[in-house]
Structure 1
Amino acid sequence: MEIFNEKSFDTDLDDDETDQTHDNTLPRLSFDQKLTAHRSNRLNETFGQINFPFQFQSNKKVRTNDDILIPLRCKTPSNNGRIHIYENSCHMLDIAIDWQLHSLLSHDNIAVHNRSFSFNEIRAFATAIEANLESLILSSIDLIASSIRILCQGLRKCVNLNLLDLSCNKLSRESFKLLVDTINYCTSLNYLSLANCGIQDSYGRSIGNLCRHKRLIEINLSGNEFEDMACILIGGALTENIRLIDLNLSWNFIRSYASIALFRGFEINKTLTEFDISWSNLGYDGSVALRRVLIVNQFLHRLNISNCNIDRASAKLISEGLEKNSTLQRINLSFNPLTTHGVHDIVQALNHKKSAISMFDISVG
């Protein structure tokens, strides 16, 4: 109640409701906050409806779309469709079109090496991937965890993808698990390279699940950090795999006991014809396991055990296996401390009538 010129009247200016209206006054927005609101409007297609950041509307947590593909679809032919989707994605994300990627998207086989992708660049690129893409090489492009999530969403559309190379990109445990789960959706995938991706022994079951894939015929896992656990899981997967032909595990941390677990899978596997375990440390125990593989396995054609610390005693064991093997065609024993006696034992073993060896490498320089 107010009094003016000895007259009383009520203007409601002192009511509680008035105080509440003052409390609800929106604060002034900084430039960054305005930019955030603008991008949110564009990504969520709410043009003109949201003109201040979500946190000032209510206390409710609002879902953002930073980890999903841009919701664009195109009915134009496939090759032009990828380009059209990429252009629209770049426009919606307020980023410049990369004309190198723009030209590559017209092809079914895409290869990108040694360059960096920002998060929005990989988002636009992954959105543009169409189902008729046949091969994708993204080597050494500094993929991060959020980029892997986006890329995996795009890969699930690539039902005709035959080759995938993500080598030289560091993968965390979560990213590797997500990638392995995504690969299971790629039913046409035959060739996979995850070389030099920092995959550690502690990544566990996902390593074994990758080697159980029902369609892959060639896997390159060289240059990672596999030790005992990884070899146990891979060895177990090889006992079940009926598709894999070529496996590359070179330049890992595989030592004698780890190789024993790995070679046990070869005693049962009937499809693997090429195996590379170079730059490992087989030692005496690993050579004992390899001797049994050479005797039992009648499907392996090419074996690379260069730089594996195979000395004279180990060479003697391997020669005993070679003496009873009739299917191995090529063996690489280069850069090992074989000694003259070790070489002599192996050469004698290869002289038997049933030997199929056509290439034998013992070079040292």
Structure 2
Amino acid sequence: MEDTMNQNTQNLFGFHEQALLTAQKYPNLTLGRITEHHKDRYIMMTSDKEMDAKVSGKWMYEVRDPSLYPTVGDFVLADTTHETAIIHELITRTSVLERKTAGLTSDGQLIAANIDYIIICQSMNENFNVRRLERYLSMAWSSGAMPVILLTKNDLTTQPDTFFNNASSVAIGVDIITCTDQHASGYQELEAYLKPGKTYVFIGSSGVGKSTVINHLLSEQKMETSEVGLNAKGRHTTTSRALFITSKGSIIIDTPGMREIQLDHADFESTFQDIQELSSSCKFNDCTHAKEPGCAVQKAIHDGILPIDRLHNYQKMLKELKYATERQAYLERQRNKSLSKLKVR
């Protein structure tokens, strides 16, 4: 690793101070950032080139936890003297976005790491879903990055204020911006929001226009896109996560459209901050906000301050979290039993 790295190079790749300090401890390894991930293969970007990469044999033998393997956005240290770089070190992440995988397991799926902002895309048509937005916000808040809501396709509605207000009602303290691809000025608000050297990951359901937005930001057709008509029906476009750099120096990570968002360590206190604050005024500390006397949450609903649908979604997601926690504990007990049997033998 070179002793010095100029400010322009640092900004270009989004290298943070911890990455640079860690790299100095390994002079024989090269600092890079993962730009693509395909099963057990990676593409790594260094200060002067892009390389195929894979983790070392020692890593594969010793590391069993999938969350400790590199993902898009990770900073790594690798031996680049071979045609395929060999990754030896994963630098501590400043943030990590993950979601619970579909199915019965409690494993998490890494989406991106070392991100500054999570751009949650929702289209202004019948694909817009407040309850789904709350789930995205929960996932975003738990990552350590800052969520931002991007309302796309504002040319498809005659009531953009309705969508904006619905998003605002559940996105406390979150910036909301809009865009359209129907005219040249449709992306001005988004372009002004993106800063050089900062990393932005775009997430959202299939068909909300993520790839179209990113293609515009990159000024070229990097990703396959599909037409989505007024009926909002479209096919899954992006199939893998990838990192790109815009001409203005912003770092963009695109992700596949998410058909399912399950819960895992979501930050509900941030997502449902309004309900949390109301709960502190309830008569009983263990109030379920159902029929208890002196319930501040129910009073807020009665007074028209809090939508009842928001409470119902809060309760539903809380129940899912409880189930996920109990299942994780059960799986851990089963794992410990299996280990005990092995020791006895």
Structure with larger Rg: 1
* Structure number with higher helix proportion: 1
TM-score range, shorter chain: under 0.3
Q: Which has the higher contact order (CA 8 A, sep 6+)?
A: 2
* Structure number with higher strand proportion: 2
